[in-house]
Amino acid sequence: SGYSREPPRHPSLRINAKEPFNAEPARRDLAAAYITPIDLFFKRNHGPIPVLDDIDSYYVTVGGLAGGPRRLSLDDIRKLPKYNVTATLQCAGNRRTEMSKSRKVRGVGWDVCALGNATWGGAKLSDVLQLVGVPYHTEITPSGGKHVEFVSVDQCPEEKGGPYKASIPLGQATNPAADVLLAYEMNGKVLKRDHGYPLRAIVPGVIGARSVKWLDRIDIIEEESQGFFMQKDYKMFPPSVDWDNIVWSTRKPQMDYPVQSAICSLEDVGTVKPGQVIVAGYALSGGGRGIERVDISPDCGKSWFEAHRYQKQGIPYVAGNITSDKWAWVLFEAIVDVKGDTEIVAKAVDSSANVQPESVESIWNLRGILNTCWHRVRLLATP
């Protein structure tokens, strides 16, 4: 098999699939730091981890409708202005296990930790495209290019059609304010193999699937990428669609993430002594929308109060230019006085006043993506 050269991984990760390797940290570990340590950052793969040892011969080819292909070495990318963008990467499948309990869905099961917040260092894609002759704020090239496709070197299983691919609109790729990066660093360190060494795309505010790792090519193309993960996966269908009546072409590939939050200081069901219990976790939204507030209910959703937030804690110093943190999660904390058995609920509200949906049934979809329903944990009080 192609899995003989996988990198070492932290023993505390909870493994959801071994080959390809898919794993997430424990809830308490995730909520313990604003910046997720690299070792504990979730790992989401569709094939073996590529071995790209010979960095001197590595280059990424930029071509398609951008004009005659240009090969850019890592040095060419490093010579461009460097940006450090703190952005949370969240898999569209985060919280899939919970959705599957309501009605079975297809896909790797994930608890609430298929996400992580990192400071990504690299060149802006807008600068790379400018370097090859595509100016800032280009929505369409003279040759009709409207999308930017990232093509990886990793080979996915046969039925999923070769290298992993995804695309984003050209207008987003050439907008410096969208902070799309070609990243070679994570938390101030050289990118690890699991996370895309030597070069990956980071598309802030968008489902993780579009942040392609191990870049081989970047092509300007006319239509959205025809790759499997754009056309036959990562689309949000209504609850009425199941495997016997699905028509993939009727939906667009999912891009922005909706508003999300989860409690990480408690498991789904836990036993506690009556008294004060800490309710802590994360909240984030997509598209650069910030978090306005997080509401906590101590009594199954009957009454609510606002959680305290500590967004800025623990940001490490990284030399360079921290552009913004609007792509990052916020951590929240609240104290609940537990008197007897209860269900504690969290829901976040983003800067556009979008609120998480109450029930998982109302957003159920056959691939189990974007489970953003209110997060509930049950507490059983010991006598």
Per rule CB under 5 A, is residue 156 in the interface with Mo ion? Answer: no
Single-letter amino acid, residue 2? G
Number of C-beta neighbours around residue 141 at 10 A = 20
Question: Distance between CA atoms of 19 and 47, rounded to whole angstroms?
Answer: 7
Range 14-53, binding Mo ion (CB under 5 A):
44
Per rule CB under 6 A, is residue 164 in the interface with ligand MTE? Answer: yes
- Helix residue ranges, H only, 56-106: 74-79, 96-102
What is the contact mask toward ligand MTE in residues 188 to 207, using x (rule: CB under 6 A)? -------x------------
Range 7-46, binding ligand MTE (CB under 6 A):
41-46
- Nearest to Mo ion of 44, 217 (CB atom): 44
- Does an H or E element contain 156, and which? strand 147-156
**Which of ligand MTE, Mo ion, none does residue 43 bind to, with CB < 5 to 8 Å depending on kind?**
ligand MTE
User: Cα torsion at 93, 99, 104, 106 (round to 10°)?
Assistant: 0
Q: To the nearest whole angstrom, how small is the minimum distance from the Cβ of residue 31 to Mo ion?
A: 20
Q: To the nearest whole angstrom, how small is the minimum distance from the Cβ of residue 122 to ligand MTE?
A: 14
Per rule CB under 6 A, is residue 371 in the interface with ligand MTE? Answer: no
Q: Distance between alpha carbon 230 and the CA centroid of its chain, in Å?
A: 15
Q: To the nearest whole angstrom, how small is the minimum distance from the Cβ of residue 208 to Mo ion?
A: 4
Per rule CB under 6 A, is residue 217 in the interface with ligand MTE? Answer: no
Which of 48, 122, 198, 208 is the binder for ligand MTE (CB under 6 A)? 208
Number of C-beta neighbours around residue 144 at 10 A = 11
- Helix residue ranges, H only, the chain: 27-31, 74-79, 96-102, 125-131, 170-173, 228-231
What is the contact mask toward ligand MTE in residues 59 to 98, using x (rule: CB under 6 A)? ------------------------------x-x-------
Residues written for the chain: 383
- Does an H or E element contain 149, and which? strand 147-156
Which of 72, 129, 212, 279 is the binder for ligand MTE (CB under 6 A)? 212
Phi first, then psi: give them for residue 99, nearest 5 degrees: -65, -40
Which of 214, 228, 282, 329 is the binder for ligand MTE (CB under 6 A)? 214
Phi first, then psi: give them for residue 129, nearest 5 degrees: -70, -35
Per rule CB under 5 A, is residue 208 in the interface with Mo ion? Answer: yes
- Nearest to ligand MTE of 10, 309 (CB atom): 10
Q: Which two tokens stand for residue 233?
A: 């996966």
**Which of Mo ion, ligand MTE, none does residue 212 bind to, with CB < 5 to 8 Å depending on kind?**
ligand MTE
Phi first, then psi: give them for residue 228, nearest 5 degrees: -50, -45
Q: To the nearest whole angstrom, how small is the minimum distance from the Cβ of residue 23 to ligand MTE?
A: 9
Query: Strand, coil or helix: what is 60?
Result: strand
Per rule CB under 5 A, is residue 209 in the interface with Mo ion? Answer: yes
Of 63-71, 90-98, 189-197, 300-308, which segment contacts Mo ion by CB under 5 A?
A: 90-98
- Nearest to ligand MTE of 32, 140 (CB atom): 32
DSSP conformation class of 214: S
Listed in sequence order, the residues at least 6 apart from 314 whose beta carbon sits closer than 8 Å to its beta carbon are 33, 34, 35
Range 223-282, binding ligand MTE (CB under 6 A):
none
What's the CA angle centered on 267, arms 266 and 272, to 5 degrees?
Answer: 60
Distance of CA 145 to CAs 20, 54, 151, Å? 33, 32, 16
- Nearest to ligand MTE of 212, 283 (CB atom): 212
Which of 35, 62, 87, 91 is the binder for Mo ion (CB under 5 A)? 91
Q: Which residues bind ligand MTE (CB under 6 A)?
A: 41-46, 89, 91, 152, 154, 164, 195, 208-209, 211-214
Q: Which residues bind Mo ion (CB under 5 A)?
A: 44, 91, 208-209
